[in-house]
Structure formats: structure tokens, C-alpha cells
Amino acid sequence: MTVRRPLAVVVGAAVLVCAGCSGEPDEGAAPPTRGTTKTSAPPASTAPKPKPAPSAVALSVPMYQRALTNVEKALKPSVARVMNAQTIAAFDASRAQLAKAVVIERGELAKITPPKGLVTAHPAVLDAFDAYAGDVSTELTRAGGTKTGCGFPKSLEVRLYEAKSGLRFAYSELAQSVQKSIGKGVKFGALSVPPKLAQPALIAGRGENGDVFQRSGSRGSGTLEIRNAGDDVVIVIAGSDPRRPQASIYVRANKTATLTGIRSQDYWVYFKSGTSWDAKNHRFTENCSYQKFDDIFDGSYNWTISLAKTPLGNASSSETESF
């Protein structure tokens, strides 16, 4: 046992030595490894360090002003097309073009480096452009109705006016937000914000006090004096149906008017009030109210009525259907 153990060690040592011995290398064999020494390997090439990107040059205040002015010049034609649209379809197409132009110009502003004094203001300028789309949507939702407050079809003139006014308000908000952000040293908005539109006559429409705009049948000698202490009102006298009146007269708020030529037969007195008088169709289009005196009137007498809510009145009235 004591003889074989040294032999086993020697043999193992011999095997280890042979495994590391050098002879003629086989063709294609990898070069032998000689410990950890690597002095014979060529030095690794050092990759060049990337050059730092050039820092953006901040604009001067005059150059920043020029950039904003160029934005206004680019947007102005699109704004003008919206405001000059003559149909709802043309308005929708032109406002879509304006929305795209606002996005494009916002992108151009995002590329510039503002002056040192406007570093904190510039992000707010970009935010104002970002808010434009939402503001337009809100305003057009308010103005998008096709019916008046009294349920009548809204005229094209009024629809376009409301839509254009809503878009102008949204664009003005954009300009004002930009101006507020940049302060007094730089200007934005004066070039591209359109002027206010003239309000259609229908919106503030009123009839002339005492105007008898409907009359049918023969005339009589009866009269009806109306003392109006409320809103503008139309008084209608009819046999039974206010849509087929004997006569209709417009009486302005806080005015008095007299309807003459009433036939000597019984009649009912109806009255409707509201705003935005449509003279063509003989109706108020907003804030409408329709009422009727509960008692019938004898046409052989002359009457005076006062339109005022008072506990001392001697003639009651009730709401009725629109007419």
C-alpha cells in the first residue's frame, strides 16, 4: 500500500505535465495558453470618445419676437378663412385646417431656445397652444345647437355667428395666454386675432311699439289699451285660435299701446313675451312665455289691461301652448 500511492501521484503528475507540454501544434489549433501572461497580444485599440453635442443657442429677445410674429403670419390666413366661411360645411373645413396649423406652429416654437429672461415663460407659451383644441371644442359645443331656446329652427346667420364667435373666443384665449406668459416686452395676438363680428339683427331683434303686424276680417270700433310694465310682449286677440288672430300688436317693455278697430264680438286676449324677435315669422326665438287671460272680453266695450304681476289685479291669466 505504501509503494502504490507515490506511484499513483507520479503518474498523475506525468499526465498533467504531458497535457501541458509543447510540441508541434496541429494545423488550425488554437495557440496554447501560457499562464496568465498576455504580453505577446497586440494592444487593444481605444475607441474615440464621442464629441459633445453643440449646445443650443438662445435667441435674443428681438429674435424671439420675430419667431412669434412669424407664427402669427402663418396662422392669420387660416383664421381669416374660418371667419369668412359662408356655410356650416365651409366653417367646419376651415376650422379643421386652423387646428392643424396651430399644431404645426406649436411644433416650430418647441424647437427654439428662448431668451434667458423667457426660459420659464416659454413652456407656458407651448401650453397655451396645447389648450387651444380643447377650448375650441368647448365653445363649439355651446354654439352647436340647431334650435333656438324656444324650439324653433335656428337661422344659418345666427348659427354661423355663434360658431365663429366661439372659435374667435378660443383663439383670443390662446393669444391672451401667450401674451400673459411672455409679459410686456414681447407681443402676440394683435396681428392674427380677428375683430368681433357684428351681431345679427335677429339676436337683439325687437318690434316697434304699437306695430299692428297682423289683422284679418272686418274692423269695428272697439279698442284695447295695453299698459306693459313687463318685458316686450305681443298681444293677440282671437275668437278661439291665437294662430288665426283678429289682430296682433307689439308692445315694448314699459310702454303703452292701443289696438283699435276691434269688432263688436267676444274675443280672447293672448300674450307672448320673450327676446330675439323674428319679425319675418312673427315670433320670439328666446326666453319665450305664452299666456292667456282667463276671462273673455266683450267686443262692444273698450278695455284697458295692465301687464304686471300684482296681488291687486282683477284679471287672472294662465299659461297656454305656443302660438
pLDDT digits (tens, 9 = 90+) for 54-88: 667 999 999 999 999 999 999 999 999 999 999 99
Domain span holding position 175: 61-182
**Residue 207 covered by a domain:** no
Same domain, 165 and 251: no
One-letter amino acid of 204: A
Which of 309 and 102 is assigned the larger pLDDT? 102
Domain boundary residue among 139, 167, 182? 182
Residue 233 scores a pLDDT above 70? yes
- The residues near 308 (Cβ < 8 Å, ≥ 6 apart) are 227, 229, 230
DSSP labels, 133-159: HHHHHHHHHHH--SB-TTSPBPPHHHH
The per-residue pLDDT for 157 is: 95
**Residue 298 covered by a domain:** yes
The per-residue pLDDT for 44 is: 60
pLDDT digits (tens, 9 = 90+) for 131-178: 999 999 999 887 778 999 999 999 999 999 999 999 999 999 999 999
The per-residue pLDDT for 215 is: 96
Candidates 80, 77, 82, 76; CA nearest to 96 is 82
Q: How far apart are CA 59 and CA 44, in angstroms?
A: 45
Which of 9 and 157 is assigned the larger pLDDT? 157
The per-residue pLDDT for 45 is: 60
Q: Could you identify the residue written with the cell 305664452?
A: 290
Confidence class for position 43, pLDDT limits 50, 70, 90? low
The per-residue pLDDT for 22 is: 44
Domain of residue 223, CATH code: 2.60.40
Domain of residue 174, CATH code: 1.20.120
Least confident stretch, 139-148, 228-237, 246-255, 309-318:
309-318
Radius of gyration of the chain (CA): 44
The per-residue pLDDT for 142 is: 76
117: phi then psi, degrees, rounded to nearest 5: -75, -10
Domain count along the chain: 2
The per-residue pLDDT for 311 is: 66
* Number of neighbours of residue 154 by Cβ within 10 angstroms: 16
Same domain, 65 and 176: yes
**In this structure, are residues 196 and 164 in contact, taking their beta carbons and an 8 Å threshold?**
no
Least confident stretch, 39-43, 144-148, 300-304, 306-310:
39-43
Residue 21 scores a pLDDT above 60? no
Q: What is the mean pLDDT of the chain?
A: 87
**Residue 279 covered by a domain:** yes
**Residue 248 covered by a domain:** yes
**Residue 300 covered by a domain:** yes
Same domain, 71 and 171: yes
Domain boundary residue among 131, 163, 182? 182
Same domain, 165 and 237: no
Candidates 136, 132, 74; CA nearest to 105 is 74
191: phi then psi, degrees, rounded to nearest 5: -85, -35
Least confident stretch, 18-27, 201-210, 305-314:
18-27
pLDDT digits (tens, 9 = 90+) for 247-295: 999 999 999 999 999 999 999 999 999 999 999 999 999 999 999 999 9
**In this structure, are residues 181 and 102 in contact, taking their beta carbons and an 8 Å threshold?**
no
**Residue 200 covered by a domain:** no
Candidates 126, 132, 99; CA nearest to 112 is 126
**Residue 249 covered by a domain:** yes
Domain boundary residue among 182, 201, 232? 182
**Residue 14 covered by a domain:** no
Residue 242 scores a pLDDT above 80? yes
The per-residue pLDDT for 3 is: 37
Q: How far apart are CA 152 and CA 131, in angstroms?
A: 34
Residue 27 scores a pLDDT above 80? no
- The residues near 140 (Cβ < 8 Å, ≥ 6 apart) are 95, 163, 166, 167
Confidence class for position 315, pLDDT limits 50, 70, 90? confident
Same domain, 123 and 233: no
**In this structure, are residues 197 and 83 in contact, taking their beta carbons and an 8 Å threshold?**
yes
Using left for φ > 0, alpha for ψ between -120 and 50, and beta otherwise, residue 103 falls in alpha
The per-residue pLDDT for 187 is: 97
The total number of residues shown for the chain amounts to 323
